[in-house]
Structure formats: structure tokens, C-alpha cells
A and B are shown apart, each in its own frame.
Chain A
């Protein structure tokens, strides 16, 4: 059974390698890229995490299983790109990333590659969001097209600290970082110095929280619901803060029973419900997600309005409607009166003419008789 499973995964691996090689050959095509808002890529990422989790649970004994997820992005230099979420921006440079997740007991190893463009003095950046403890291997690859450039001196740096290579080939240089806590997060820089200066930067960070950019609007004595989510990742716990003056107060059990209800819709979505909102409830709120590797915060704003605020435009529009209807009805009454008067005038004229005609006929008859 194990062999069958490994065989299946290897088969998948081969398929994806094939897919990658085809992608590598063709130039950037918008149809090929996975976009930020693409639900399918999200669900893929989700299924991937599920698979990974499943693997961890069902196969506790050490074994090497590989799953490959690949993205192809068109990235301008200095374009942030996150795991599972790519922003497709047309550009001349191609950055290919491969991530191979290998499960070894309970430690996951992830590989990230960055393709360096050949253009001089350019820097390619990528942002990687990590939610769990992983062992990360970062590789900078020089594009085959530019392999004619020789004599490179490659340095890996994080801040001021230099890290030594773990792996080196003709055109790729890698380092291994064991990210066990938040201190290991940061920006890892690989610099190639030679005829040209190229650099690639890996930003390792905790996942960012998605929340509404615009303020939530609520009314007095109504319920207000605010949502925070980090799609694709599992947060260990969520905490909400409210701002009082300049201090941030945790919304915890003491306040919980009273008016605040914190509910967790799923692992990645949280709601804060405030019952019977008052004017003082308006302001800044923070939702904080705790991951293995650190915390991530998101800012929300709550605006509390009284019902008078929408009532004013409402009354204005109602008055406008009443005025228009009254105008139309008055115009109609006026125009029908005018028409009636004209019709009466016409009628009188016709009667007058008829009586004249009658008089003429009788006079004619008299003349004829005579």
C-alpha cells in the first residue's frame, strides 16, 4: 500500500515536472498564471495543506513523500509574491518558483527557487508566507540564457549576517534555513557579483490577514459584526483588541459575556459581534492571528451612526417624489381644463354656424317657394 502511494506521488511528480518544462519553454501567457483572486488556486492550496496534514497524521513513521506545487509568475522586479497567492503583472522577467514539500517525521521541508533575470542591476523579490515550523531551502538560479556570464561571486545575507551555502551548482546557489521561531523570519538576500550585479530577495513572514479596507458601519442599538480572515492558512488562535485612547485592550472573558461574542466560523475566519452598539464602540479594532511562527495583526474600523444620518436623504427624496407627483397632477388638471374650454368654444362656434346655416336654408327655401 505504501509503495502504491509512493508510486502515485511519483507519478504526480513526473506529471508536474512535465508541466513545468512546458511552461518554462513558452513565454508568459496570462492563461497560465494563477491569479490572486482565483478560487481554484486557493482551493488547490487548501487541498495541499489538507493532503500534507493528512500525510502527517496517517503516516507517522519517517518516510519521504513529495508533493510538488508549482507556480509560474510574471514578475516585475520588486513585485511581492506570496505562497498560494500570486499577483499576475505583465512584465519582461520570469520568476519560476518550485516548492517541494517533503515530510520527515513532523518537520516539513520546503524548497523555494528564484529565477534571476539577466538584466543588469535588477533585483527580484518574493514574499513567502509561512504558518508552521518548516525547514526552508532557498535557491537562487541563474537563467540558462545568461549562463554565458562567468565568474560570479555569490553571497547570501540576512541583514548584516552572512550565511554560507549549503548547495552549489553551475548556475544555482542554495542555503538551508531552519525556521523554528519568529527570530528566523526576515529577508534573505542572494547577491551575484560579477560582470553584472544581480540579486534576489526572499521575504519570509507570517501570513497577512485579509480584512475589509473600508470601515464597517453600524447603527446605535444594533448589532455590529466584524470579520477577519486569513484564507488558506490555519491560525492557532485569534485575539481581538479594541482601542481605548491610545491603549489596546484585549477583549477577553471579562467583557465577553456582556456584549461581545467572538465566534470562529472556521480555522481561518473569525467574527466579532458587538451587541447593542453604543457611540463609544466606534473606533479602531485589531484582530490578531497567532501562528506557530508569530502573530499577525489586521486593523478594522467601526463607525457608529445614528439613524438620523440616512433619514435625512430619505426624507429629501420622499419630498422630491411628492413634489413631482403634485406637479404632474396639477399640470394634468390645468391642461384638461384648458382643453375643455377650447372644446366648448368650438362647440359654441359649430352651433352658431349650424344655426346660421339653418337660417340660410330656410331663407333659400323661402326664395325657392317664392
Chain B
């Protein structure tokens, strides 16, 4: 047994070392989760002919897959809270593989819905959430960079999957392709194997958190402390008296933290993002048809999407690096709302582009904005709720986003069909996103002010010696609460204890 001195020194997340391997695993996992539903669309024409259905019936396959990937978020969160990330990702990879292999033997479109839609979608959901969670566990100081790099997996995978799918289809037909794609999806298990659980025995001993790391860590710690002292934690005080007798909501909160709905930052994020996703994906889906509509040939239209993807690949890690800089990191929420508003402005200006050059410029800016938003999508959530509650937060957020993600493109399609003009769809998307960006900006300004106020109050309380005892009480309850968290959170708990002890030590001296 290593002496307690070592665990006391067990620092904040490693921010390097094996963390970069985990980033690579997350890169693969996230890439498959986002790119696969789009990549599988290449087979639809053939499947439509084979089963004799209409195109919209076949397009449901992709929609069901996307819906399940986002809708099964809470299930993913519960499983990660219970078992840790690694088993969940490996299970996800297995499910994907099984889903696609069984799809290769389907004899009706209904079976395709189940195999490709539900089973593979569920597998991808079990891949997506834990990957993002693992990044939060392994990185703190360099988390935006890690997030940016991992999210870059999506466009890279899309660029690889599209020609690969075409090649597989030409060589093996759709059944053989599904079989081989099932095997390729099993590589998610390899990515999962890389997600080494981070616990007391395996925590890296060498890195000491620098001033910056401690500072942001302290802020997160105080945030959590604020949450602890909020009235919702009264049932927890009861629990400390009766150890064996747990409250019902307690048990549920252990698996999926519904108390997040009282977290101010979480609510702001949820409302802003749900609004944003209404106009997020529709422009990508309709870019190529719009280009063809104004008279550009098919290959140039497809090239526009390639330009978008390439700019996206570059934009995501770059955004991560910018977001990690010391000017942006403390105010990362503003950067996020700015990029959403920038995205919306691009869409509003798109109808002005009536020539191919104009569309190319639009694609470049759109790719840039899209990459910026995606790179910071989960980083800002982590920043708001902290790594401890991120597991449940991401599950709850994805199931809420699921509805608007699915509604966005059909609403855009209806607008196009009603007015016969693409510009109303672009205007709608632009307006929605600018609104979402402005809302997030204003609300986060308010949130930052409230946080600063609470920090001041906390400092004032600490300097008052009469309240030291209550501090200890709060700390004890808070320790008891953190024991409920999963096995991976041990070093975080201990490291949070560390600064707390230091602070108290200073006071007592």
C-alpha cells in the first residue's frame, strides 16, 4: 500500500502522458459516432431499388440512427456512472459491430431500421458520451486542446468513410459492405481499450498542478461547493445521520444527476444549445442541393462539401488552442457564444452568394464556424458543471438536443418546398443561431457575475473565524457526497480535498 503522502500528492488530471493516447481513442470513437450516419447514405439508392421502397422510407434509417445516438445519452451516462467508461465503450463497439453484421442479412426495410437504426445507433451512443467524459477526466489545464483534437475526428472520419464506402459498395455490393463496416466499427473496441480508468493506483504521481491549473480548479471546486451548500443538499445531511437508509432521489441522482436542473450554468447551456441545434445541421444537408439549384454541376457541388470538411478539420484543433490561451480560457463561454453568432451570420449572408466563388467563400467561413462551435461544444459544458457532474450533464443535454436536431432539417425542407426558394431556410437558420448566440452571451455574462459574487461571499465567510466549524461541516458532507461518484473520480476528490485542507490550514494558522 503506498503511503498516504502519495495520495495527498495525487494531482489534478495528468494533462498529458497517457492522456494523448486517450485523445486518439476519443478521436476514433467520436469520428465514428458523428460520421457514420452520414457516410451510410451512399448505400441508400441501391437499398431503395432492392426493397422497392421510396427514398424517404430509406432515409428514415439515417434519422433513426441519429435519433438513437443522441436519445440514448442518458442510458450511456447511467452506465458510465455505474461501470466506468472503458466497459461501456467496448460494449458500444460490440453493439455497433453486431448491428451492422446482422444488417447484412436483412430481408426487409423494417429489419434494417432495427439493425442499422436502433442497434448501431445505440452502440454509437455508448461510444460518444464516454469518449467525451474521458477527456474531462484526463485533462484540465489543456482540456480545450484535447477537446478540439478529439472532435476533429468527425470530419476526418467523414472524409475517409465517404470514398471508402463507395469503394466497398463497388466491390462487394451493399450486403458485403455492411458486413465489412461491422468489422470496421469493432475498432471502437480498440479505442475503448485505450480508455484506461484513472483511479488512485494509476494516477500519475509526477505532475504538480501549476498556478493556472489550481486557479481554475479552485473555481470549479468552489462551484461544486456552492452547489453543495444549496438547499437541494439538505437530504444529504439527513443521510449522514442514517447511513443505511438512502433517499429515493438519492439513488436516482447517483446514476443520473437530475439535480443538475437546478444548476444555473447547466440550464443556460441547455436552453442555448437546444435553440442552436434547430439551425445547425440543415445548411450542411441543403448546401449541395442549393448549389445544384442555382446551376452548379454535381461535382462542383460535392467539392463544396469537401472544402467545408477540410476547413473543419483545421478549425477544430486551432479553436482548441485558442480556447486554451490565457486570454480566452477564463471567458470561454463568450467565445462559444461568439462562434455561434458568427455561424448564424454566415447563413444570413449566404443568399447573397449567387455565383460559385461566392459559395466557395461561404463554405470556407461555414466550415470555420462549424468547427469552432463543435470543438467547444462539450468543453463549455465541462467548464460550467465541472468534471464530476459532467457524466450526467452530457446525457441530459444530448437527449434534449435530440428533438431539435431531428426537427431542424425537416423544417428547413418544408420552408424550401413552401416557398420554392432556399434563402428562407438560410435566413431561418441564421436567425435562430444568432438568437441562440446572443442569449448565451447575455446569460453567461449574468452567470459570470453571479459566480464572482458567490466567490466573494465564500471568501468573506472563510475569513470569518466563527464560521470555520460550519465550514468543516460543509466539507464533511461534501466528502460524503463525493464518495457516491464513480471509481474514476477518486483523485479529483482527493485533490479537491487538498486545496480545501490548505485553505483551512491557512485559516487555522
Contacts and interface: CB of A to CB of B under 8 A. Distances in A.
B184 A317 contact: yes
Contact of B49 (A38, A271, A314): A271
A309 B189 CA distance: 25
Interface in A308-363: 309-311, 313-314, 317-318, 321, 324-325, 328-329, 332, 336, 339, 343, 346-347, 350
A32 interface: yes
Interface string B1-40: 0110010000000000000000000000000000000000
Given A217-B173, A218-B173, A219-B173, A37 B183 contact: no
A27 interface: no
B190 A310 contact: no
B49 A227 contact: yes
Contact of A217 (B52, B176, B187, B189): B176
A321 B295 contact: no
A321 B186 contact: yes
Contacts of A37: 292, 297-298
A131 to B, nearest CB: 24
B179 interface: yes
Nearest to A324: B190
B295 A35 contact: yes
Given A37-B292, A350-B3, A318 B50 contact: no
A325 B193 contact: yes
Contacts of A271: 49, 52
Given A30-B356, A227-B49, A314 B175 contact: no
A31 B355 CA distance: 7
A332 B196 CA distance: 8
B193 A317 contact: no
Interface residues of A, number: 43
A310 B105 CA distance: 13
B296 interface: yes
B3 A38 contact: no
Contacts of A34: 295
Nearest to B170: A214
A155 B250 CA distance: 96
A79 to B, nearest CB: 15
A318 B193 contact: no
Contact of B175 (A30, A219, A332, A350): A219
B190 A321 contact: yes
A40 B293 contact: yes
Interface residues of B, number: 37
A263 B6 CA distance: 76
B249 interface: no
B182 A329 contact: no
B176 A219 contact: yes
Contacts of A263: 52
Contacts of A30: 295-296, 355-356
A152 B138 CA distance: 85
Given A30-B295, A343-B2, A328 B172 contact: no
B356 to A, nearest CB: 7
B175 A33 contact: no
A370 to B, nearest CB: 34
B180 A314 contact: yes
Interface string B266-304: 000000000000000000000000001111111000000
A329 B49 CA distance: 45
A321 B189 contact: yes
Interface in A290-322: 305, 309-311, 313-314, 317-318, 321
A263 B51 CA distance: 13
Contact of A309 (B172, B182, B190): B172
Contacts of B52: 225, 263, 271
B89 to A, nearest CB: 12
Contacts of A225: 49-50, 52
A271 B50 CA distance: 10
B410 interface: no
A49 interface: no
A178 interface: no
A75 to B, nearest CB: 15
Nearest to A343: B2
A336 B193 contact: no
Interface of B: 2-3, 6, 49-50, 52, 170-173, 175-177, 179-180, 182-184, 186-187, 189-190, 193-194, 196, 201-202, 292-298, 354-356
17 contacts: A30-B295, A30-B355, A31-B295, A88-B297, A217-B171, A222-B175, A309-B176, A310-B176, A317-B187, A318-B183, A318-B186, A321-B183, A321-B186, A325-B193, A336-B201, A343-B6, A347-B3
Given A263-B52, A317-B186, 19 more contacts: A31-B294, A33-B295, A36-B297, A38-B295, A216-B173, A217-B171, A227-B49, A305-B172, A305-B176, A310-B179, A313-B180, A317-B187, A321-B183, A321-B190, A325-B190, A325-B193, A336-B201, A339-B202, A343-B6
The 3 closest A-B pairs by CB, nearest first: A217-B173, A310-B176, A317-B183
Interface of A: 30-40, 88, 214, 216-219, 222-223, 225, 227, 263, 271, 305, 309-311, 313-314, 317-318, 321, 324-325, 328-329, 332, 336, 339, 343, 346-347, 350
